[in-house]
Amino acid sequence: MRPVHSGREYVHELRFSVRKGTAEGSRHDTYKDKPNRLAGWCFCVLLAFARPVFADESHDRVLVADPYLELHTGPGRAYPIFDIAERGERVDILGRHTDWFKVRTARGKEGWVSRAQMEATLTEAGERKTFRDVLFDDYLSRRMEFGFSFGRFDHDPLLSAYAGYRIHENFEVELTIAQSAGDFSTTSLYYASLVSLPFPDSRWSPFFALGAGRFTNAPKATLVSATKTKGGLANAAIGLRYYVTRQFFLHMEAKKHVALIDYNRTNDYTELSVGAAFFF
């Protein structure tokens, strides 16, 4: 729980008066005793409730390169600004939530600063690259990814989830589980696929995939004389990816599935889906 900032400033002032008090306390000034005691009490309250204000060396300390940083009370544009840090000041970066950085100023104030306002500070601390470029570099050097999608499997809704691993600049191996609960039956698909990305470095990246796996179809219990079918599955897909931001991209694809039920019988299905994925 975080103290309300106006109250906290008050406590800070009182703490300051404690220090002043000890420095000049040897004087025979009886008036000074009263605020000191009050300040002492407040200091106890501060110790009991507030988090330590002293700089923790384990956090990253950066020099503010932007004209100033506005400290918001929460990680969002709507939260009020209660303090600022000026250019040349040193601040500790305590953490990050979405596009907001939690910083602590030299004076011990903790607040949230937007990424847009931190851009120069963060760039100065690192290399001559904008923060967005650094993020895009992460996208280029990604290895693992996880995603899910929603679409249509012929006329039934389809939900699928996948995990992927990049084995080469242009190739990726993916494992997918998908389920389609339709009006008459439930179809489950489990397959592995090899995905080819001819332009892996672009924001809009088309892909082609070939896969193989298992197929099961279980009709609803309310249907009479329907039997469960199982078989092999082969599929081919074309699709498009769009890198949005940070570790996040969207994808859409069209896929043709062929279920190999027995030697004489195959069923084919068309899948159209859109989804979201993350990479690490």
Nearer to other proteins, 68 or 150 (CB): 150
Count CB neighbours of 55 within 10 A.
Answer: 14
Contact residues: other proteins, CB under 8 A = 1-4, 7-8, 49, 60, 62, 73-79, 93, 95-102, 122, 125-127, 148, 150, 156-157, 159, 161, 179-183, 186, 220-222, 244-246, 248, 276, 278
Least distance between other proteins and beta carbon 80 (Å):
9
The least CB distance from residue 163 to other proteins, in Å, is 13
- Return the number of the residue (181 or 236) whose C-beta is nearest other proteins: 181
The pair of three-digit structure tokens given for residue 87, joined into one six-digit string: 């250019």
In whole angstroms, how close is the CB of 117 to other proteins at the nearest point? 14
8 A C-beta contact, residue 259 and residue 269: yes
Judged by CB, which is closer to other proteins: 41, or 49? Answer: 49
Least distance in angstroms from the C-beta of 272 to other proteins: 15
> Under 8 Å CB-to-CB from 249, ≥6 apart: which residues?
139, 241, 242, 243, 276, 277, 278, 279
CB of 132 to other proteins, least distance (A): 14
Per residue, the 3-state secondary structure of 41-97, as one string, reads HHHHHHHHHCCCCCCCCCCEEEECCCCEEEEECCCCCCCCEEEEEECCCEEEEEEEE
Nearer to other proteins, 37 or 220 (CB): 220
Q: Which is nearer to other proteins, 7 or 88 (CB)?
A: 7
Helix (H) or strand (E) segment spanning residue 34: helix 33-49
Considering the complex, what minimum distance in angstroms separates the CB of residue 192 from other proteins? 21
Beta strands 110-114 and 144-153 are unpaired
CB nearer to other proteins: give 182 or 234: 182
Question: DSSP class of residue 154?
Answer: T
